[in-house]
Amino acid sequence: MTSVNLNSFIERVANRTVQLLLQKHEQQPIQNQDEFLNIQQASKLLDLSVPTLYSKVSKNELPFMKRGNRLYFSKIELIDYLKAGKRKSSAEIEAEADAYLSNKKSAEL
């Protein structure tokens, strides 16, 4: 194989590798990229009526952004808002109480 053929071969392999990497990157969903929702989309996500959302926005109960007369909501922040309202189960509360009491007893000894 001559040096010209070798250079040509290396160039073709490099180009093909770049193409494959770009295709793979395009097929994978972008992680951690936030999506911004309008009031109707946020209403569907939270399963709340639009007037209820406006009420929560006016009371600053929901995270939102405002540009001009339009409201926008971060999907990630709305999901975090939902998660913040999670109530602990009885089993979780009992486990925390047991852990607290066992730590307190071991600290007294």
Instruction: Please tell me the pTM assigned to this model.
Output: 0.55
Is the Cβ–Cβ distance between 3 and 41 less than 8 Å? no
Claim to verify: residue 50 and residue 95 sit in the same structural domain: yes
The domain of 73 spans: 36-108
Cα-only R_g, the chain: 27
Domain tally, the chain: 2
As a whole number of angstroms, the distance between CA 58 and CA 51 comes to: 11
Same domain, 29 and 49: no
- Please report, as a single letter, which amino acid is at residue 88: K
Same domain? 28 vs 64: no
Q: What CATH number is associated with residue 83?
A: 1.10.1660
Per-residue pLDDT 10s for the chain (109 aa) are 676 677 778 788 778 887 877 777 666 555 567 899 999 999 999 999 999 999 999 999 999 999 999 999 999 999 999 988 888 888 888 999 988 888 877 776 6
In order, the DSSP letters of 32-94 are T---EE-HHHHHHHHT--HHHHHHHHHTT-S--EEETTEEEEEHHHHHHHHHHTPPPPHHHHH
d(CA 84, CA 64): 16
Q: Kindly state the tokens that stand for 100.
A: 């607290």
Distance of CA 44 to the CA centre of its chain: 17
